[in-house]
Amino acid sequence: MPNRRRSRSLLDRLLTAVLIPMLVLSVPACTQGPTGPATSSSLPSPTTTASTGLPFTTIDRTERNFTGSWYQDQKPDLRGVTNSVEASQLESLISERGRDALRQVNYQTDMVIGVFQGLKPTDGYMVQIERITAYSATFTITAQFIEPSPDEKKNDVVTSPYHVVRVSKPEVTADELTFVLVVSDTVILSTTHRLSE
């Protein structure tokens, strides 16, 4: 049985190595969205879903969370959350409203995906998850990183834009999930998430 499991894991890894580039090539070009700071009318409603791919619901999306703590790296980050312990680690990075929504997630049936753009020197930056697709144990998250236009008035305030969503948990037999972040038709981040026993 261990050899069979190891063989399946090796097969999953080989399929992932071949299929991820195929998925990336099949991702349509991201459309240009609004630039500048998000207003309440430009934020997605709590029931926003992807136009194609897996349906998802926005938990929280903002350029800063006003809690005094946020994602502090300058590089983008991608987080997959499959249980309440992992959710508690994500709570400090999102707004109070987002924390409340995160606490309502049923991790038996759903999981959470968070995309963080990284620290920015002004306002006007935003993250928009546009589509989530899944093949086997690999989730491809297509997102747009919105930046302010050069002639736009900006406030000199450090921001850390993010978008956190809830999506149905897949029925997979794999021990781990792979999350791939695609921005502007380019894979910018890939992470493997071990499922807890």
Task: Give pLDDT < 50 ranges for the chain.
Answer: 1-8, 10-11, 14-15, 17-52
Count of domains in the chain? 1
Structural domain boundaries enclosing 165: 2-194
The predicted pLDDT at position 29 comes to: 38
Predicted pLDDT of residue 38: 37
d(CA 193, CA 179): 8
Q: What is the pLDDT of residue 18?
A: 45
DSSP secondary structure letter of residue 39: -
pLDDT at 3: 47
Is the pTM of the predicted complex or chain greater than 0.75? no
pLDDT of 23: 44
**pLDDT reported for residue 68:** 56
Distances, alpha carbon 79 to alpha carbons 2, 25, 39, in Å: 29, 23, 25
